[in-house]
Copies of this chain bind each other. A is one copy, B any other.
Amino acid sequence: MMTVLEKMACEAREESTCQMTEDMLAEIKENLPPPELLTDLADLYKMFGDSTRLSILSALRQGELCVMHLAEILNMTQSAISHQLRALRANNLVRYRREGKLSYYCLADEHVETIIDMGLEHILEERVY
Given the complex of chains A and B, what is the CA–CA distance between A80 and B46 in angstroms?
A: 20
Cβ of A77 < 8 Å from any Cβ of B?
Answer: no
Task: Tally chain A residues at the interface, Cβ within 8 Å.
Answer: 52
Give the interface SS of chain A, mostly helix, strand, loop or mixed: helix
Please indicate the chain B residues that have their CB under 8 angstroms from the CB of A102 in the complex. 17-18
Query: B29 near A54 (CB under 8 angstroms)?
Result: no
Task: Tell me how many chains of this kind the complex includes.
Answer: 2
* Residues in B whose Cβ lies below 8 Å from that of A40: 123
Residues of B within 8 A of A92 (CB): 122, 126
Mask for A19-60, Cβ within 8 A of B = 1, else 0?
Answer: 010000100110111010111111111101111001100110
- 30 inter-chain pairs at a CB distance below 8 angstroms, sorted by A residue, are A17-B102, A18-B66, A18-B69, A18-B102, A20-B69, A25-B73, A28-B59, A28-B63, A31-B62, A32-B55, A33-B58, A37-B120, A37-B123, A38-B54, A41-B119, A42-B49, A42-B51, A42-B54, A43-B49, A44-B119, A45-B46, A46-B46, A48-B49, A109-B122, A111-B118, A111-B122, A111-B125, A114-B118, A115-B115, A115-B119
